[in-house]
A and B are shown apart, each in its own frame.
Chain A
Amino acid sequence: MNGRRLLLTSAGAIAIVALLVSIALAQGMREKFFDRDGRLVVIERSAAEQLRTYDIRSSKAPETFPVPPPPFSEGIFPCSDCHAHMSPDQRPRVLTEEHTDIVLNHAEGQRWCLDCHNTDDRDTLRLVSGEIIPFSESYRLCGQCHGDKFREWREGLHGKRTGYWNGDKEYLLCAHCHNPHDPNFKPMKPMPPPVRPGETRR
């Protein structure tokens, strides 16, 4: 009697949980929002579709942007010239032999070189997802944290685009203006102020 009751109760509980989960899932599959005219829009997507959103491997190829060559220090690229013959040392440490000019001033407590540089091929960069990208797509690397800046950069709002206002445009990489290891913009000498009107009088 007792056993049966327990069974029934647990079956009921399972049913309720299943119901709740299915309701939650159904809600998740339904995207509801208001469009600009105030109309309610509902988009339904299957659970599989939804899951795919978070699957980087099957997501569509990211947009690429025309950029000038990355601003490498002279004679430093390709990195493989040296690194191909070295076995990678993955331990975070202070570099004492090479690259001593690089002082990491960019969330330095939380990362070090090989979080961004590809351990296996130093001529490329590595995203958190594991995807390997060339230096000419480094904006994707920066965009991992600075999504807002990346989106504005894409629109031409952050950073500088050259080219033609009604034709082909060229983007600058983040690294063209911000040193990736020390990204704060460096102060510069201003050009001379205008001549005061009093001084021009003869």
Chain B
Amino acid sequence: MSDEQQKETRVFKQTRRKVLKGLAAGAAVLAVPTPQASASVWEAFFQKHFREMSKDELVRVLARLEKTYSRQYGKEVTVSATPPIEGVRFGYGLDLSRCIGCRRCVYGCVEENNLSREPQLHLIRVVRLQKEKGVDLDYAEHYYNPELVPEPGYFYMPISCQQCENSPCTKVCPVQATWKEKDGIVVVDYNWCIGCRYCMASCPYGARRFNWRRPQIPAENLNPTTHYLGNRPRPVGVVEKCTFCIQRTREQPGRYPACQEVCPVGARKFGNLLDPKSEMRALIENKRVFILKEDLNTRPKFYYFF
């Protein structure tokens, strides 16, 4: 009897494995349409959570991803996993009196961060507000498209992830696929997210975006320098967000985020909040600063000033 039971459990285990394998194959159909990639699909399916991987495992995962992306886009793609720099907490500043609403930042972000071109996915939303009404989103126009900006009587407010200290999105994720890194950047493990979109419901800033269809990026437009938690090509069915260009800002020395670099009016400021000499500290101490939806106690590290 007990022998039989043992046999049964073994059979059960094997069938379970088969079922899982079948599921993995199903995932293969979803993710990568190349049949010879079955081994890496198997690995991808059972890939651990980013923070639970050992160094060796991480190295192997990065190598696998580099191989997959390089093959997929026909060019050398690197995937790094540069850790946060000690003693750094990133902050962002945006000068509302300078911003002219030209949306250069929106498309600069698309190019740098390998955002899907079709379907379109933007991580920055610029809204046009009425000077008469002030910062009242009820009067926000998202689709303004005049001949020239700025238009008289209006001001513009770009909104992206506010990198909250008290982030509701990381709190609600049922599988901890999103979390706040030591340098304050809220990141997503695209290989761990199950796509439930609870984080999107919880975000007061509409900063999170879902890959409703398989993201498409023309190979010639792919930025080949990527970060695991940042701009590597995303799979379908997962949530993504602004990471302060983690692939740029965590370099040593760190580049500025793409939106900051592309802004034609210098409305965008970026720096280390812990460094008293940074422009972020200068603006917080000297300018009239406010944060969005302060009453929700999310404590954003994105400061609007004017």
Residues of A that sit less than 8 Å from B by CB: 152, 155-168, 172, 177, 185, 187-196, 200
Contact = CB atoms under 8 A, between A and B. Distances in A.
Contacts of B85: 166
Nearest to A158: B266
Nearest to B107: A191
A167 B254 contact: yes
Contacts of A185: 100, 265
A188 B148 contact: yes
A165 B266 contact: no
A157 B279 contact: yes
A196 B255 CA distance: 33
B253 A168 contact: yes
Contact of B253 (A162, A166, A172): A166
Interface residues of B, number: 46
Greatest chain B CB density within 10 A among A158, A159, A160, A189 is at A160
A160 B254 CA distance: 16
Contacts, number: 100
Contacts of A200: 119-120, 212
Given A155-B279, A188-B148, A193-B142, A165 B272 contact: yes
B150 A187 contact: yes
Nearest to A191: B103
A165 B254 contact: yes
Contact of B269 (A157, A191, A192): A157
B18 interface: no
Interface string B102-116: 111011000000000
A196 B107 contact: no
A75 B203 CA distance: 53
Nearest to A189: B148
Contacts of B256: 162-165
B241 to A, nearest CB: 16
Contact of B286 (A157, A159, A166): A157
B237 interface: no
B279 A191 contact: no
A188 B264 CA distance: 10
Contacts of B143: 193-194, 196
A159 B97 CA distance: 12
A164 B254 contact: yes
A157 B150 CA distance: 20
Given A156-B271, A190-B148, A191-B104, 6 more contacts: A156-B282, A162-B256, A165-B270, A166-B254, A189-B102, A193-B144
Given A165-B255, A187-B100, A187-B150, A192 B145 contact: yes
Given A157-B282, A194-B120, A164 B255 contact: yes
Contacts of B142: 193-194
B149 interface: yes
B57 interface: no
Contact of A194 (B104, B122, B286): B122
A160 B294 CA distance: 27
Nearest to B283: A157
A51 B263 CA distance: 44
A156 B278 CA distance: 9
A172 B107 contact: no
Contact of A189 (B120, B147, B253): B147
B125 interface: yes
A66 B282 CA distance: 20
